[in-house]
Amino acid sequence: MTPPFSSFALRVHKNTVPFSHTGRDWHFLSACERHVAYLKERYQVNDLAARLVANRSIMEEAEEIFSPFLRTHLPDPSHLPDLLKAVEHLEEVIREKRPLAVWGDYDVDGACASALIVKYCNALNHPVISYIPNRFQEGYGPNIHGFQMLQNTHQIHDLIVVDCGSTSFEVMAAAREQKMRVTIIDHHQVPGIDHPECVAFINPKRLNYTGPESLKTLCAGGLVFLFLVGANRYFRKTGMFSFLNTSEPDLFSLLDLVALSTVCDMMPLRGINRVFVKQGLKVLGQRKNVGLTQLLDVSGIREEPNAIHLGYALGPRINAGGRVGNSTLGVQLIATDSVTKALEIAQELNALNQERQHIERATEQLALAQALKQQQQHYLFLWDSSWHEGVLGIIAGHLKEIFGKPTFVLSEKNGMLKGSSRSVSGIDIGRLIHQACEEGVLVTGGGHPMAGGLTLRFDQISPFRTFLDKSFKNCYPEKNLSPMKVDMVVTLAQLNQPNFLDVWEKVGPFGADYPSPIFMVKRIYVQHATAFGHNHLRLKVCAEEDPSILYSVVCFRITDKPAGPFLLSLPKDPIDVLLTIQISRKWGKRFPNFVLEDFRCP
């Protein structure tokens, strides 16, 4: 019989294992025993669940992990700045039957935030159109030409701008002169104490915001959902639903969009964001959203969806429209109620995603060659005039994971460098970009803690890199690569226990700022290795203590690295491995999928 985790798991204190495949040290986490005891007693969970939570959370966050119920954790919408102005604007538009437009960003968060408002207005039978600017022709954020087109073609004078607009001072001033009434709902950094002129400016990152800090962690989708909760409450008081002779929109049914935007925009999976994702996955599993249902099918996902599916299957396909195709496809897909239209768009997005993957692979090889020459720096600054603008953010994310440091990837456009950045935990890249703009070493830019966009002239490259050198010099005082944080040492047999799967689902989902647990398994033997996809491996391994049982382990993005040929050679000696787990649910059963994160030869 396999010993339970509580008695078998080796908890190594203050220990470090060097010399791994990735070049990272292995640091073993040691949970506070008092915290473990408290969690076990307070929430009636076993030792494994208590330790995993204690390793990655403060005690005040345990309630959202073990009791993730929306009714008890939903913040009061009244804390949103300018909420009353925004809902009064919306009520006025609806009562006077004025056409409304929602202007969004061309990523998943922008599409979901836009679709939330479209679906809300559709439920109230109010006319609304969505507008997503073309990434390459119009760029990020509102522009006056797009506003004028909406005004002249669709007689639009009222807009809700989502997931952008916090730095659009000139555009908002011009819109005001054109008698356009605009509400902005955004979560990006606000440059200074002032904000663009508009009817309402909902952004918890504005300097005069005094509400809960937790609202600063919401993406645009989360803020729009909270805004709509506030709208529902306000409309109940003013009799709007009776006036319209319609029922109150069911906001809970829209949580799948909030979960999707939260995961894909890399928001920290803590507090209310955990609740949004946990409950949103349940809604997604009911397959009520026609567009997302078709996208799940096109993506080959027949099982109960999880956070991995959001970030690595649905998100990339929705983003593909803005990256290499039609920016409006994402919101069209999510907002439609037509099965035929949804299937058509889903298939088109799937094809665009395949095109995006081809462009990405070719570009990433070139970017990787540059990155290898910058390994001694505390950040990566990579650019080439030929790189496709639509894949820069993805490549920045990949290289950030490989090298464990903030990464900037740019290409040339209209005589300037324009691109994306991705950060590591503890470094607010959005704030840093704003500081660079204020110091005059960037033309423009913005973002949030984990991701950002920036534009600079060629003559600004040197001063910007000097700025980065100064900013990052104290971030990594000892090593460039952050260590792998290992939760505990276990056996392969333990990871297959039913009680382990129960614990995993209880303390998940995992994601940004709430990382998936990493387990060390000692002395396993590689029996078979098969390459698949692009640079991936599928291994069959066995434990030294029981070689008769084979376990499947997947290694992503490894065959183009030295470790790939080594594993393909089926080394005769055992290796120590670090594994993370992904759980699939099919035919009413659960299956653990092991993913190799690192290994070493003992």
Q: How far apart are CA 452 and CA 465, in angstroms?
A: 16
Q: How far apart are CA 578 and CA 24, in angstroms?
A: 12
pLDDT at 404: 84
Residues in the chain: 602
Pull the structure tokens for residue 178: 């054109």
Q: How far apart are CA 305 and CA 296, in angstroms?
A: 8
Residue 63 sits at φ, ψ, to 5 deg, of: -65, -40
**What are the beta bridge partners of residue 524?**
543, 575
User: Which domains can be identified in the chain, with CATH numbers?
Assistant: 5-62+483-600 (2.40.50.460), 74-351 (3.90.1640.30), 373-472 (3.10.310.30)
Chain centroid to CA 10: 33
Going by C-alpha positions, the residue among 333, 258, 262 that lies closest to residue 294 is 333
Q: How far apart are CA 401 and CA 596, in angstroms?
A: 14
pLDDT at 480: 55
CA distances from 61 to 55, 69, 274, 286 (A): 12, 13, 10, 28
SS3 116: helix
CB 554: neighbour CB atoms within 10 A? 17
Alpha helices in 144-289 (DSSP H): 144-154, 169-177, 220-238, 240-244, 255-264, 272-285
| List of the chain residues with pLDDT < 50 | 1-14, 477-479
SS in 3 state form for 18-51?
A: CCCCCCCCEEECCCCHHHHHHHHHHHCCCHHHHH
* Mean pLDDT, rounded, of the chain: 91
pLDDT tens string 522-569:
999 999 999 998 889 999 999 988 899 999 999 998 988 888 899 999
